[in-house]
Structure 1
Amino acid sequence: MKQMMLLALLGLSVLAQAQTVITGTVTDKTSGQPLQGATISLSTGGSTYTNAKGQYRLTATANGAFTIQASFLGYRTIRETASGKTQYDFALEETGLFVKPVEIASLRAGRDAPFTRSDLNKEAIAQQNLGQDLPLLLNQLPSVVTNSDAGAGVGYTGLRVRGSDITRINVTVNGIPVNDAESQGTFFVNMPDFASSVNSIQLQRGVGTSTNGAGAFGASLNLSTNEYRENAYGEIDNSYGSFDTWKHTVKAGSGLINGHFTIDARLSKISSNGYIDRASSDLRSFYTSAAYISGKTAIRLNVFSGKEKTYQAWNGVDSATLHTNRTYNPSGANKPGAPYDNETDNYQQDHYQLFLNQSINNQLNFNIGLHYTRGRGYYENYRDGESYADFGVEDPVYNGAPVTTTDLIRQLWLDNHFYGGVFSLNHDTGKLNWSLGGALNRYDGGHYGKVIWAQNGGFDKDHRWYDLDAFKTDANIYWKGELTVTDKLKLFADVQYRRVNYELNGFRNNPDIRRHERYNFINPKGGLSFRLNEQQHVYASYAIGNKEPNRDDFEAALEETPKHETLRNLEAGYVLQSPKAGLQANVYYMNYRNQLVLTGRINDVGAYARTNIPKSYRLGIELDGHYNVLPRLTLAANIALSRNRIDAFTEYLDDWDNGGQKAVEHKNTDISFSPDLIAGYTVSYRPLNGLVLDWVGKYVSRQYLDNTSDDRRSLDAFIVNDVRINYTVPQQFFRSLGLQLMLNNIFAEKYEPNGYTYGYLENGTVKRDNYYFPMAGFNFMAGVKIGL
Structure 2
Amino acid sequence: MKRINVVAMAAVCTLCAQRALAEQKVDTVNVHQLNEVVVKAVRAQKNAPYAVANIKKSELQNFSATGQELPFLFARTPGIVAWSENGTGSGTTYMRMRGAAGSRINVTLDGVALNSPEDQTVFWQNMNSYASLLGSAQIQRGVGSSTNGDGAFGGSISLATAAPSQKPFAELTGSFGSYDTYNAGASFSTGLLFNHLIFDGAYHETATDGFVDGTRGRSGSYYGGLTWLGNKFQIRYKNIGNFEKTGQAWNYISGPNGTESYKEIWNMGLGRSNTLLGDYEEIGGKYQLVPFTFRDGRKWDRTTDNFYQNHNILSATWQPSESWSHNIALHYTYGRGYYKDFRGNKSLSKFGINEPGKTDAVRVKGLTQNTYGVVYNVNFKTDEWDIIAGTNLQQFRGSHWGYVDYIKDEALEKKYFGADGRYKYYDSDAEKDDYSAYIKATYTFLTHWNVFADMQYRYVRYTTDGLNDKFYEKDGKYVNQRLDVDDHFNFFNPKVGVSYTNGGHKVYASVAMSNREPERNNYTDNGNYPYPKSEKVIDVEAGYQYDGSNWHAGANFYYMDYDNQLVQTGETSDIGEALTTNVKDSYRMGVELTAGWAPLSWLSVEGNAALSQNKIKDFDEYVEAYDADWNYVDPVHNHYSKSTLAYSPSAILNGFVDFHYQGLSATWHTNFVSKQYLNNSEFSSMPCYSQSDLHLAYQSDVKKAMGIKNVKIGLDFNNIFARHYAIMAYDYGTYVGGKRGNWFSYIPAAGFNVMANLTLRF
Q: Which residue of 2 aligns with 1:413?
A: 366
Pick one of 123, 127, 131 that aligns with 1:187.
123
The verdict on how the C-alpha distance between 1:94 and 1:757 changes in structure 2, with shifts beyond 3 A counting, is: closer
Q: Does the aligned pair in 1 maintain the 2:570–2:678 contact within 8 Å?
A: no
- 1:406-425 alpha-carbon deviations (Å, 9 max, x no partner): 42221101111111111101
Structure 2 residue 652 is matched with structure 1 residue 716? no
Contact 2:345 2:360 in 1 (8 A): yes
Q: What is the CA-CA distance between 1:475 and the residue it aligns to?
A: 0.8
Amino acid at match of 1:478: Y
Aligned partners of 2:30 and 2:434: how far apart in 1? 38
Mapped to 1, the partners of 2:330 and 2:715 lie a distance apart of 40
Q: Find the aligned partners of 2:100 and 2:529 in 1 and give their Cα distance.
A: 28
Question: 522, 530, 538: which one pairs with 1:553?
Answer: 522
Deviation for aligned residue 1:254: 1.2
* Counterpart residue type for residue 620 of structure 1: G
Change over 3 Å in CA distance of 1:608–1:394 after alignment to 2: same
Secondary structure of the equivalent of 2:179? coil
For 1:436 and 1:651, locate their aligned partners in 2 and report how far apart those are by CA, in whole Å: 43
Deviates more, 1:289-298 or 1:112-121: 289-298
Aligned to 1:775: 749
2:589 match: 619
In the alignment, which residue of structure 2 is the partner of 1:114?
A: 49
1:97 Cα shift? 8.5
Give the Cα–Cα distance (whole angstroms) in 2 for the partners of residues 250 and 661 of structure 1.
55
- Check the 8 A contact 1:239/1:247 in 2, yes or no: yes
Q: Is the partner of 1:153 in helix, strand or coil?
A: coil
Letter in 2 for 1:500: V
Segments of structure 2 that go 5 or more residues without pairing to the other structure are 1-23, 280-291, 471-479
Map 1:157-306 onto structure 2 (within 5 A).
157-306=93-242
Equivalent AA in structure 2 for residue 474 of structure 1: D
Contact 1:248 1:270 in 2 (8 A): yes
User: Which of 725, 730, 742 is matched with 2:696 structurally?
Assistant: 725
- 1:173 touches 1:223 (CA, 8 Å); kept in 2? yes
Q: Could you report, residue by residue, the CA deviation over 1:627-680 in whole angstroms, capped at 9, with x for unpaired residues? A: 111111100111111111111212222221171111112232111111111110
Asked whether the 8 Å contact 1:343–1:380 carries over to 2, the reply is yes
Q: 1:348 pairs with 298, 308, 331, which one?
A: 308
Q: Which amino acid aligns with 1:383?
A: R
User: Match for 1:519: what amino acid?
Assistant: F
Quickly say closer, same or farther: Cα 1:681–1:599, change in 2 above 3 A: closer
Larger mean CA deviation between 241-250 and 362-371 belongs to 362-371
Q: Could you report, residue by residue, the CA deviation over 1:114-166 in whole angstroms, capped at 9, with x for unpaired residues?
A: 11110000111223332111111112101111111000011011111111111
2:476 match: none
Change (3 A) 1:422 1:453: same
Task: Tell me the residue number matched to 2:385.
Answer: 432
Please tell me whether the aligned partners of residues 597 and 613 of structure 1 are also in contact (alpha carbons under 8 angstroms).
yes
Cα contact 2:367–2:401 (8 A) shared by 1: yes
The equivalent residue for 1:105 is 40
User: Which position in structure 2 is the counterpart of 1:123?
Assistant: 58
1:482 pairs with 2:442: yes
Give the corresponding residue for 1:41: none
1:243 is paired with a residue whose SS is helix
1:375 aligns with 2:375: no
Question: Could you tell me which of 697, 701, 726 is aligned with 1:752?
Answer: 726
From 513, 525, 537, the equivalent of 1:567 is: 537
- State how far apart, in whole Å, the 1-side matches of 2:44 and 2:438 are: 14
Who is 2:670 aligned against? 697
Percent identity over the alignment is 33
Change (3 A) 1:252 1:600: closer
How big is each residue's C-alpha offset from its partner over 1:161-202, in whole Å with a ceiling of 9 and x where there is no partner? 111111100000001111111111110111111111011000
Q: How many angstroms does 1:331 deviate by?
A: 0.9
User: How has the CA–CA distance of structure 1 residues 97 and 221 changed in structure 2, closer, same or farther, with 3 Å as cutoff?
Assistant: closer
**Residues 550 and 736 of structure 1: is their aligned pair in 2 closer, same or farther, counting only changes over 3 Å?**
same
Alignment of 1:584 with 2:554, yes or no, is yes
1:662-709, Cα deviation, whole Å (9 max, x unpaired) = 1112232111111111110110112x4210111111011111111122
Whether contact under 8 Å (1:501, 1:518) holds in the other structure is yes
8 Å Cα contact 1:433-1:482 kept in structure 2: yes
Kindly provide the CA deviation profile for residues 344-398 of structure 1, in whole angstroms up to 9, marking residues without a partner as x: 1111011111101112322111111111111101000112345555545576xxx
Whole-Å separation in 2 of the counterparts to 1:735 and 1:724: 23
Match of residue 25 from structure 1: none
Match of 1:535 among 485, 489, 504: 504
Q: How far apart in 1 are the matches of 2:192 and 2:495?
A: 41
CA contact (8 A) 1:424 1:437 kept: yes
3-state DSSP class of the match of 2:131?
helix
Matched, 1:646 2:619: no
Please report how far the alpha carbon of residue 226 of structure 1 lies from its aligned counterpart in structure 2 after TM superposition.
4.3
1:551 deviates by 0.8
Whole-angstrom distance in 2 between the partners of 1:600 and 1:576:
40
Q: Distance in 2 between matches of 1:540 and 1:559?
A: 37
The residue that corresponds to 1:735 in the other structure is 709
**Counterpart-to-counterpart distance in 2, 1:188 and 1:119:** 19
- 1:425-455 per-residue CA deviation (whole Å, 9 max, x = no partner) reads 1111221110111211111111011222223
Conserved in 1, the CA contact under 8 Å of 2:362 and 2:405?
yes
1:453 corresponding residue in structure 2? 406
Specify the SS of the correspondent of 1:128: helix
State the alpha-carbon separation in 1 of the partners of residues 493 and 453 from structure 2: 11
Q: Residues 136, 94 of structure 1: CA spacing in aligned structure 2 closer, same or farther, 3 A cutoff? A: closer
User: Matched residues in 1 for 2:30 and 2:350: separation?
Assistant: 66
Q: Aligned partners of 1:696 and 1:301: how far apart in 2? A: 38
Secondary structure of 1:554's aligned partner: helix
Paired residue total: 686
Take 2:544 and 2:604, find their aligned partners in 1: how far apart are those partners?
21
Give distance in 2, aligned partners of 1:661 and 1:394.
25
Which segment is superposed worse, 165-174 or 315-324?
Answer: 315-324
The answer as to whether partners of 2:692 and 2:720 remain within 8 angstroms in 1 is yes
Asked if structure 2 preserves the Cα contact closer than 8 Å seen for 1:554 and 1:562, the reply is: yes
Counterparts of 1:518-529 in structure 2, within 5 Å, are 518-529=488-499
In structure 2, C-alpha distance between the alignment counterparts of 1:95 and 1:587, rounded to whole Å: 37
Query: Which amino acid counterpart does residue 141 of structure 1 have in structure 2?
Result: T
Q: Which runs of 5+ in 1 are unaligned?
A: 1-74, 78-91, 396-402
Q: What's the secondary structure of 1:755's corresponding residue?
A: strand
Q: Is the 8 A contact 1:190 1:308 kept in 2?
A: yes
Specify the SS of the correspondent of 1:731: strand
Indicate conservation of the 8 Å contact 1:76/1:95, yes or no: no
Q: Is the 8 A contact 1:260 1:292 kept in 2?
A: yes
1:698 is aligned with what amino acid?
Answer: N
Structure 1 letter corresponding to 2:86: A
- 1:330 pairs with one of 252, 266, 275: 275
Whether the aligned pair in 2 keeps the contact of 1:255 and 1:262 (CA below 8 Å) is: yes
Separation in structure 2 between the aligned mates of residue 121 and residue 524 of structure 1, nearest angstrom: 30
Residue matched to 1:464: 424
Which AA in structure 1 matches 2:605?
L
Q: Contact (CA 8 Å) 1:97, 1:294: kept in 2 or not? A: no
**Alpha-carbon distance in 2 for matches of 1:107, 1:197:** 19
Structure 1 residue 220, shift from structure 2 partner:
0.2
1:516 aligns with 2:486: yes
Does the aligned pair in 2 maintain the 1:76–1:94 contact within 8 Å? no
Q: C-alpha distance in 2, partners of 1:702/1:354? A: 46
- Taking the TM superposition and a 5 Å limit, the aligned residue runs for 1:386-405 are 386-388=346-348, 390-392=350-352
* CA distance in structure 2 between the partners assigned to 1:352 and 1:558 by the alignment: 41
Q: Which residue of 2 aligns with 1:635?
A: 605
Q: Out of 626, 632, 640, which is 1:666 matched to?
A: 640
What secondary structure, in the 3-state scheme, does the structure 2 residue paired with 1:421 have?
strand
Residue matched to 1:312? 248
Determine the structure 2 residue equivalent to 1:34.
none
